[in-house]
Amino acid sequence: MKGPISSAIASDRDERRSAWQVFRAPLMIGLVSAAGLAFGLFGDGLWDSLCWLGLSVPILLSLIHGVPWKRSAKQA
């Protein structure tokens, strides 16, 4: 393996995280969005609102972490 991808996998034994530590956040997000998917089927009104809420979580996290405003703010 070559390049930055392999360096992201290998070495650095000091700060390794366990499977639980790595998957804790994704698991929560997955459960919340799966619940959102299901809630919308149960009914209208409140159920629909819960559905929108649950499925907004992956979108909001994509925006919070994926859009570079934080990093440019740090550098400034």
Partner 1 sequence: MVSARATRVWLQIHTWTSLISMVFLLMLCLTGLPLIFHHEIDELLEHPIAAPPMPADTPALSLDRLIESARNQLPSQHALFVTLKEAEPLVTVAMSATAIPVPGQFHRITVDARTGAVLGEEPPHQGVMDIILQIHRDMFAGLPGELFLGLMGLVFVASIVSGIVVYWPFMRRLEFGTIRDRSSRVKWLDMHNLLGIVTVSWALAVGLTGTINTLAVPLSDLWRAQTMPALLAPYQGKPIAASAAVDAAVTAVRQAFPDRRVSSVTMPTTARFGSPQHLIVWTKGKTALTARMFQPVMVDAQDPTKLTAPPVAWYLYALQLSRPLHFGDYGGLPLKIIWALLDIITIIVLSSGLYLWIAKRWGSRKKSAVVVGSTAPVVVSP
The alpha carbon dihedral of 51, 57, 60, 66 has a sign of: negative
Question: What residues make contact with partner 1 under the rule CB under 8 A?
Answer: 1-6, 8-10, 12, 15-17, 19, 22-26, 29-31, 33-34, 37, 40-44, 47-48, 51-52, 55-59, 61-62, 64-66, 68, 71
- Work out how close the CB of 40 gets to partner 1 at its nearest, in angstroms, rounded to a whole number: 4
Q: What is the DSSP string of 22-60?
A: HHHHHHHHHHHHHHHHHHHHH-STHHHHHHHHHHHHHHH
Cβ closer to partner 1: 15 or 76?
A: 15
- Work out how close the CB of 30 gets to partner 1 at its nearest, in angstroms, rounded to a whole number: 5
Q: Which two tokens stand for residue 72?
A: 């440019």
